[in-house]
Chain A
Amino acid sequence: MIRRKAKVTSVETGETREVVRLTPETEEDLREIDRLREAGLLDHRNSFADDPGAWDE
């Protein structure tokens, strides 16, 4: 698994923090990603259209 930290800015507070961006390289990595998603810790949206709710006014 390639893990890359990215500096991010909180929309709510403007604070700077980090998220971890994961690139799976093996089937085991995919399972780990799956576990993170199941646990609600992983953002799995690739296209803007993956989250229709985000665009509701």
Chain B
Amino acid sequence: MPVRGEQLERRVRRMDAELSRLERAATRAITGEIADASRRLEREIRGLYLDALADTRGEDVAVREARARSLLARVEGLTDLTADVPDGELDVLVTGAAEAGASAAEDEVALYEDEARSARPRNTALAAIATTAVAAIARNGRQHQERIERHVVDGLAAGRGWGQVRTDLRQEAGILQRSAERHVKSTSVDASDEGHKATFEANGVQYEQLLATMDERLCGYCANRAGRVYELGDIQLPLHDHDRCTTVPWKREWQEAGLTDDEWFEAHRAESLARAQEGQRTGASPSERRRGLDKAPEPVWTPRTDTVAAREAVERIPPTPAPPPVVRPARPRVTEKTRSRGPTRPPTEAERVAARREFQGEWVAGARRKRSVALKHGAQQELGIRGLVYQTRRFNFTQAEMGRARIAARKMYEDTQAAFRRQGVAEVRLYRGVKTAYEDVGVIESWTTDINVARKFAGARGDIIEEVIPVERILISHRSPGWRDGRFGAQSEYVVMPHRPRRQ
């Protein structure tokens, strides 16, 4: 009777819950200290900044910068927000995670053998993990220290008010807290992996099998290794930041005796490969590359993915949401092939109407779609809207596509403005939902006259912006000629630009 895969998985999840508890405690202590340090800095620097701002009004930039440097000298030591992060928290985390890993490994071995014992990793190994984590957090702190000091210098040089500089400082503290949290999680997985390995070794286990964490963000490295068996020590977790995979013990004699649940691992591997939206990655993982490895370790056994169990596992997967976006440079790329074409004839009215319909229909399907990104660039070029387009995918546009986007933007704007003129409307009260403290201002973005639509877009914990917007800033609205709602129905939508067009 094999040890069922579900039994192994249950033990792993129990360990994961314990790791999460330890991580929360360490994260709370570390991010709390960063928040305290940020408040201390604000308290000390506020008065100094305001005095310097008043004293250097009318002075040239060099004088203001010099004053900023002298100001920073007076708060030396406070701008490194990680200076007082307690190292002890990381020691507690490392020890606890290693024990949790060792205890889980003992439970796993006990499923196969009558006797099993847990073993503590070497102190030097644990000390090295804790030291690495402390160093990583400190390194981040120094990087943010430089950014914090630059905000102060740039702020004073540009004559920015304290509120603006304070916002920048808080932003740095927030990012630092998030990165500290990431380090805590990686450290905990690293230490628990050491605990696993020490216990496997103490029980004569020479191989380990990778158990991937099955969620919608499963990466290609983990999918590639899911269910595979490696010599003990060939795999070191985490494979990358945010990796929650683990390993379970494996012996050849267990497999030969029919004790390993190969069918379950076939299904596990097939499902992992199907869930990894980026496909499998066969090379060295990010953390392996950091350790100087240039290729992935060789497995000693790989579950088959052409079996009935594997096929059925894939068929059971529910549809997954779209993959997380990848940020690419923002400028539109126009292909060379069409760039050399000479001037084209002006579009006919039918072509203008068709372009408006095409791009408006795409906008109500999403701003990250290719033609919506083209429309943003089209509005920029045709109407002179400032700012860069922040986009998460890089598209290649042909000259013809960009031309149509410009035609669409112009047609939308002309028709909409004409409609407002006919109605005698000069401005509109509009609402927009926001989910976080920062928002990037789109070259065009959806607003609404219906506050309930804005509430839904903001979500239960979000906020609503309310603004009276001059109609010259509206590219198109649900009341414009030819408007068609998207699949979410009527949303009383107005597509708004950040300022009036600079090209009329």
Taking Cβ atoms with an 8 Å cutoff, the residues of A that contact B are 2-12, 17, 19-27, 29-30, 33-37, 39-52, 54-55
Given A42-B436, A46-B442, CB of A36 within 8 Å of CB of B171 = yes
For A49, list chain B residues within 8 Å (CB): 363-367, 446, 486-488
- In the bound complex, residues from chain B placing their C-beta under 8 Å from that of A19 are 434, 436-439, 463, 465
Is A41 touching B364 in the complex (CB atoms < 8 A)? no
Q: Is B10 an interface residue (CB 8 A)?
A: no
Whole-angstrom CA separation of A42 from B441 in the bound complex? 11
Partner of A8, one of B329, B366, B465: B465
| A-B contact list, 13 entries, CB within 8 Å | A10-B461, A11-B461, A11-B463, A12-B461, A19-B438, A21-B438, A24-B387, A25-B387, A27-B388, A44-B390, A46-B442, A46-B444, A48-B486
Task: Give complex CA distance A29, B386 in Å.
Answer: 14
Q: Top 8 nearest A-B pairs by Cβ distance?
A: A8-B463, A46-B442, A46-B367, A47-B367, A23-B387, A43-B439, A48-B446, A49-B366
* Cα distance A12–B353 in the bound complex, in angstroms: 42
Decide: A20 and B167 in contact? CB cutoff 8 A. Answer: yes
List the A residue with the shortest CB-CB distance to B448.
A48
- Residue B164, interface by CB 8 Å: yes
Q: Does B35 contact A (CB under 8 A)?
A: no
Q: How far is the CA of A24 from the CA of B363 in the complex (A)?
A: 21
CA distance A39 to B367 in the complex (A): 21
Q: Is the CB of A11 within 8 A of B460?
A: yes
A residues in contact with B487, CB < 8 Å? 49
Q: A12-B461, A41-B175, A42-B439 are in contact. List 6 more A-B contacts (CB 8 A).
A: A5-B167, A9-B463, A21-B438, A24-B440, A30-B390, A43-B438
Interface stretch of the complex, out of B291-299, B300-308, B450-458: B450-458
What residues of A have a CB within 8 angstroms of the CB of B458 in the complex?
11
Q: How far is the CB of B353 from chain A (nearest CB, A)?
A: 21
Interface check B186, CB cutoff 8 A: no
CB interface residues, B 457-477, toward A, < 8 Å? 457-467
Give the chain A neighbours of B448 by CB distance below 8 A. 48
From A6, A8, A42, A47, B364 is in contact (CB under 8 Å) with: A47
Selected from A2, A17, A22, A25, the residue in CB contact (under 8 A) with B439 is: A22
Q: What string of 1s and 0s marks CB contacts (under 8 Å) between B473-491 and chain A?
A: 0000000000000111101
Question: A34 — which chain B residues lie within 8 A by C-beta?
Answer: 327, 390
Instruction: Provide the bound-state CA to CA distance between A42 and B498, in Å.
Output: 18
| Contact pick for B175, options A6, A27, A39, CB 8 Å | A39
Q: Report chain A residues within 8 Å CB of B392.
A: 44
Determine whether the beta carbon of B453 is less than 8 Å from that of A48: yes
Interface status of B52 (Cβ within 8 A of chain A)? no
Cα(A36)–Cα(B167), bound, Å: 13
B interface, how many residues as a size bin? 35 or more
* Contact present for A36 and B175 (CB under 8 Å): yes
- CA distance in complex: A5, B161 (Å): 12
Enumerate chain B residues within 8 angstroms of A37, measured Cβ to Cβ: 327, 440
Structural contact, A11 and B464, CB atoms closer than 8 A: yes
Q: A22-B440, A45-B367 are in contact. Are A55 and B488 (CB under 8 A)?
A: yes
Please give, as numbers and ranges, the residues of chain B lying within 8 Å of A52 by CB-CB distance: 488
Q: Which residues of B contact A27 (CB under 8 A)?
A: 329, 388
Q: How far is the CA of A48 from the CA of B431 in the complex (A)?
A: 12
B372 within 8 A of A: yes
User: Do B434 and A41 touch (CB < 8 A)?
Assistant: no
Binary contact track B329-347/A, C-beta < 8 Å → 1, others 0: 1100000000000000000
Q: Please report the C-alpha to C-alpha distance between residue A19 and residue B147 in the assembled complex, in whole angstroms.
A: 21
Indicate if B368 sits at the interface (CB-CB under 8 A). Answer: yes
Shortest A45–chain B CB gap in Å is: 7
Assuming A34-B327, A36-B438, A48-B453, is B464 touching A9 (CB within 8 A)?
yes
How many angstroms from the CA of A11 to the CA of B179 in the assembled complex?
29
Once bound together, how far apart are the Cα atoms of A7 and B464, in whole Å?
9
List residues of chain B with CB within 8 A of the CB of A5: 163, 167
Contacts A41-B171, A49-B365; A55 near B445 (Cβ below 8 A) = no
**How far is it, in angstroms, between the C-alpha of A5 and the C-alpha of B316 when the chains are bound?**
47
Contact residue among A41, A45, A55 (Cβ-Cβ distance under 8 Å from B437): A41
In contact, A41 and B445 (Cβ under 8 angstroms):
no
Q: Which residues of B contact A47 (CB under 8 A)?
A: 363-367, 372, 445-446
Task: Please determine whether A21 and B175 come into contact, CB atoms closer than 8 angstroms.
Answer: no
Contacts A41-B437, A48-B488; is A29 near B175 (CB within 8 Å)? no
Q: With A9-B464, A51-B457 in contact, is A21–B445 under 8 Å at CB?
A: no
- For residue B57, CB closer than 8 A to chain A, the reply is no
A45 to B441, CA, bound (A): 9
